[in-house]
Amino acid sequence: MREEKKIITDFKKLVLLLKNKNICKRAVVVWPEENHTQEAVCKAVQEGFIKPVLVCSEQTKKEFADKNSFQAFIANSPEEAARKAVEMVKNGGADIILKGFLNTDVLLRAILDKEIGILPKDTVLTHITVAKLPEYPKLLFFTDAAVIPTPTDKQRKEQVRYIVDFCHAFEIECPKIALIHCSEKVDERHFPYTASYKVLKEEGEKGVFGKCIIDGPLDLKTSCSTDALKIKKINSPIGGDTDALVFPDIEAGNLFYKTITLFCHAETAAVLQGTLAPVVLPSRGDTIDSKFYSLALASLISDSLYNKEDK
Amino acid sequence: MREEKKIITDFKKLVLLLKNKNICKRAVVVWPEENHTQEAVCKAVQEGFIKPVLVCSEQTKKEFADKNSFQAFIANSPEEAARKAVEMVKNGGADIILKGFLNTDVLLRAILDKEIGILPKDTVLTHITVAKLPEYPKLLFFTDAAVIPTPTDKQRKEQVRYIVDFCHAFEIECPKIALIHCSEKVDERHFPYTASYKVLKEEGEKGVFGKCIIDGPLDLKTSCSTDALKIKKINSPIGGDTDALVFPDIEAGNLFYKTITLFCHAETAAVLQGTLAPVVLPSRGDTIDSKFYSLALASLISDSLYNKEDK
C-alpha cells in the first residue's frame, strides 16, 4: 500500500509536517508592537516550528519578550528595526522575517537597499500565496497578489519556477501549474502574455522547472473544475485539478486573494520569494491565523529551498 | 413609514418586481436547439415576463415551439438565425435577444455587422453582470467580465454610465459605484487607469451620471466591507457598502465572475449593453437559473432603459 499521509491538503497538516520533520526556524520579528503579531508568534512557538528574535521597542521587550523569554533587540524606530532584521538575515542570524506593526514600504526599503539589502542582483522578487478554500479539495498556490504589477516574460518565468519549487517543498511530486487568462485561446494581439504562456508550457514539457505539468492559457474554471473542462470540451493535462495558478498581473492576483478571503471563507498564508530568506508581509486586515500559517509556510520553505548547503 | 418593498436584494425579488409592474417583453431566442435554453424560456414564460419568438430548426419548431404554442421562424443555420434575430430587433419586432446553442462569435458577428447590425455607431459595447453572493447583503453589479479587453478612458466612462443606469433601473436611488484597483492609491506610472478613476469620481460629483456616488481607486475589500475600510483607516463615501464594481480590465472582471460562481455559490445574470436591445449571451457552463435570471434582468432593462419614447 502506498503511504498517503504526506499529502498536505490543509494548514493543519502543514503544521503536523513541520513537527514530524522537526523543523524549527529562527524568525526575526520586525517591530511587533501590536497583539496580532505577538499572538501569531506565540502560537508558532508553542507548535515548535519557530524560535523568535524580536526587534522592538524597549516597552515591548519588557512587556512581551522578557515575559515569554524571547530573545530581543531594542530599536528606536520601525526604520531601525527593519534595517536590523535585514542585517540579521544577511549575517546568517535569522532564517525568516516577519513584519509587525510598520508600513510595508519601510521594510521593503531595507530589503531592497542596494548596500544592506537581501535581494540578490538580477533576482526576481515576487509573492506567493497558499490558500485553503472550503470548496477546493486541496491547497491552492497562486502568484502574484502583491508585488509585480505587470510581469515581464522573464519575471513570469521566475514566478513559475518559484511556485513549482513551493509545490515540491509541500511534497507534491508532479505539481500542476495553470497559467490563467480569461479564455483558453492564445491571443497575442489583445493579450501578448498568452504567447509567453505557450513558451512556458513548452519549457515545462522539456523539464526546465523540474517535474511538473504546466498548461495555459486556462481560465479559473477549466483550471479548477473537471466539470467545467468537460462542458467546454477542452483537453488539458491539468484535468481541472490544478495545484497552482499563475495570474496575468497583480490586479487579477490581488482580486482573487481578496475575493476568496472576503466571500469564500478561505484561509491563506503568503511570503515574498526571491530574497535571501522568506519574508512574511501580512496586510493590516489579515487574521492571527493567517500570520501563523504564513510563519508555518515560511518555515517549510526556509527548510526546503534555502541554506541547502547547510544540510 | 417608508415603503421598503422596493429594494431588490435578490433575483426572486427581481421576478416579483417584473410581475408587479406587469412587464412582459418580446424575446427572440436564437437557435434554441438544446434543453437548458428551452427550460429557461419556459420558466420565464410561466412567470409572465417574456413572450418568446424562436428562430430555430424545423424540428425544434415542431417539437418545442408548436407544443408550447410559441411563435417560431424556421432558419437553416445558426448564422441565418442570428441574422434574423438582429433584423427583428432592428424592425422593432423584438425587445431582447437570447443566444441559444450557437457560438457567441456567430451571434456577435450579426450584431456588430455594419449593415444589418444593432450597435449604433460610436456606441460602446460592454457587458454587465448582476450577482447574488450568499456573503453579501445585496445584489452586486459589475462590469466587464466578457467584452472589452482593456477599456480606454472613454469606454470606462460608458461602463460607469451604463452601470449607474442599471442600478437606477433596479430602483436604487443613489447607487454606489466602486472603481476597482489592487490598492487605494492613484499610481499613474504603473496603473495609468487609476488617474482616470480620479476623473470619473469628479464627474460623478458633478452629476454627469445622474444621482450616484462614485469612488476609487478602492480594492474589493474596501468596496464591500465596512470592517476592511475601518482597519485600513480609509475614508470612502461608499462606506464598504458598494452596489457596483467597475474592474480595470477583462482579466479582473472575468476572474471575479468565475471565482464567485465556482467557489462562492453566487447566482448571476448578465447582458450585453450598448446594442439596440439587451442581449443575453450565456456561456456553456451557465445554469438554467442563470439564463432565467438573465432574461429577467434583460426584461427590466428593456423596460427601463429602452424604447422610452413609447411610454
Residue A54: which of A90, A19, A88 has the closest Cα? A88
Residue A228 with chain B: CB contacts under 8 Å: 262, 285
Count of beta carbons in the 10 Å neighbourhood of residue B241:
17
| Cell output for B229 | 475600510
Which residues, including other chains, have CB under 8 Å from residue A44's CB and lie 6 or more apart? A27, A50, A52, A292, A295, A296, A299
Residue A145 with chain B: CB contacts under 8 Å: 182
* Candidates B228, B247, B258; nearest CB to A221: B258
Q: Do B256 and A259 touch (CB under 8 A)?
A: yes
B276, HSE (Cβ side, Cα atoms, 13 Å): 21
A260: amino acid identity, one letter: I
Q: Do B262 and A190 touch (CB under 8 A)?
A: no
Check residue A37 and give its pLDDT. Answer: 95
Q: Which of A255, A256, A267, A288 to mutate: most B Cβ within 10 Å?
A: A255
| Cell output for A185 | 485561446
Q: For A78, list phi and psi in degrees, rounded to 5.
A: -55, -40
- Computed over its alpha carbons, how large is the radius of gyration of chain B? 20
| Cell output for B81 | 438565425
A126-270: same fold as A1-123+275-303? no
Domain regions of chain A by residue span: 1-123+275-303, 126-270
Cα(B57)–Cα(B55) distance, integer angstroms: 7
Residue B231 with chain A: CB contacts under 8 Å: 284-285
According to DSSP, the β-strands at B25-30 and B50-56 are parallel
Residues of A near B (Cβ–Cβ under 8 Å) read 133, 135-136, 145, 149-150, 180-182, 190-191, 219-221, 224-225, 227-228, 231-232, 247-252, 254-256, 258-264, 284-285
DSSP per-residue codes, A135-190: TSSS-EEEE-SSS-SS--HHHHHHHHHHHHHHHHHTT-SS-EEEEE-SSSS--TTT
Residue A218: which of A203, A205, A200 has the closest Cα? A200
Q: Do A220 and B259 touch (CB under 8 A)?
A: yes
Residue B221 with chain A: CB contacts under 8 Å: 258, 261-262, 285
Residue B254 with chain A: CB contacts under 8 Å: 182, 219
Which residues, including other chains, have CB under 8 Å from residue B235's CB and lie 6 or more apart? none
DSSP per-residue codes, A241-284: --SEEE-SSHHHHHHHHHHHHHHS--EEEEEEESSSS-EE---T
Q: Do A262 and B149 touch (CB under 8 A)?
A: no
> Which CATH architecture group holds A1-123+275-303?
3-Layer(aba) Sandwich (3.40)
> For chain B, which ranges sit under pLDDT 50?
1-3, 309-311
Beta bridge partners of B30: B55, B99
Q: Which of B182, B184, B241, B286 to mutate: most A Cβ within 10 Å?
A: B182
Residue A249 with chain B: CB contacts under 8 Å: 251
Beta bridge partners of B179: B246
Write the CA distances from A102 to B27, B222, B234, integer angstroms: 58, 20, 17
Residue A288 with chain B: CB contacts under 8 Å: none
Check residue B284 and give its pLDDT. Answer: 76
User: How distant is the Cα of B285 from the closest Cα of chain A, in angstroms?
Assistant: 6
User: How distant is the Cα of A22 from the closest Cα of chain B, in angstroms?
Assistant: 35
Residue A131: which of A104, A166, A179 has the closest Cα? A166
* Candidates A181, A247, A285; nearest CB to B221: A285
Evaluate whether A225 touches A240 at the Cβ level (below 8 Å). Answer: yes
Quick one: closest CA in B to A146, which residue? B182
Mean pLDDT by 10 residues, chain A (311 residues): 69 96 97 94 97 97 97 97 97 96 93 95 96 97 96 98 97 97 95 97 98 98 95 94 98 98 96 96 88 97 76 38
User: Coil, helix or strand for A96?
Assistant: strand
Q: Do B182 and A248 touch (CB under 8 A)?
A: no
Residue A209: which of A249, A250, A159, A243 has the closest Cα? A159
According to DSSP, the β-strands at B126-132 and B140-143 are antiparallel
* Candidates B232, B252, B263; nearest CB to A260: B263
| Cell output for B80 | 441565418
- Computed over its alpha carbons, how large is the radius of gyration of chain A? 20
Evaluate whether A140 touches A224 at the Cβ level (below 8 Å). Answer: yes
Q: Do A220 and B149 touch (CB under 8 A)?
A: no
* Candidates A149, A180, A262; nearest CB to B225: A262
Check residue B306 and give its pLDDT. Answer: 83
Q: Do A284 and B250 touch (CB under 8 A)?
A: no
- List, in sequence order, the alpha helices (H) in B178-283: 193-206, 220-224, 226-231, 250-263
Per-residue pLDDT of A31-73, as tens digits, reads 999 999 999 999 999 999 999 999 999 999 999 999 999 999 9
Residue B225 with chain A: CB contacts under 8 Å: 262
- Superfamily designation of domain B129-271: Isopropylmalate Dehydrogenase (3.40.718.10)
Residue A264: which of A129, A141, A136, A128 has the closest Cα? A136
Q: Is the ipTM of this complex over 0.85?
A: yes
| For residue B217, cis peptide bond before it (omega within 30 degrees of 0) | yes
| Cell output for A68 | 515569554
Which residues, including other chains, have CB under 8 Å from residue A306's CB and lie 6 or more apart? A95, A276, A277, A278
Evaluate whether A212 touches A204 at the Cβ level (below 8 Å). Answer: yes
| Cell output for B89 | 430587433
Residue A193 with chain B: CB contacts under 8 Å: none
User: How distant is the Cα of A87 from the closest Cα of chain B, in angstroms?
Assistant: 30
Q: Do B254 and A182 touch (CB under 8 A)?
A: yes
> Which CATH architecture group holds B1-123+275-304?
3-Layer(aba) Sandwich (3.40)
Edge-to-edge strand order for the sheet containing B213-218? B71-74, B50-56, B25-30, B96-99, B279-280, B267-273, B126-132, B140-143, B244-246, B176-180, B213-218
Q: For A202, list phi and psi in degrees, rounded to 5.
A: -65, -40
Q: How many CB pairs under 8 A join A and B?
A: 100
User: How distant is the Cα of A283 from the closest Cα of chain B, in angstroms?
Assistant: 9
Residue B113: which of B145, B90, B94, B146 has the closest Cα? B90
* Candidates B181, B182, B250; nearest CB to A182: B250
**CATH 3.90.550.10 correct for A126-270:** no
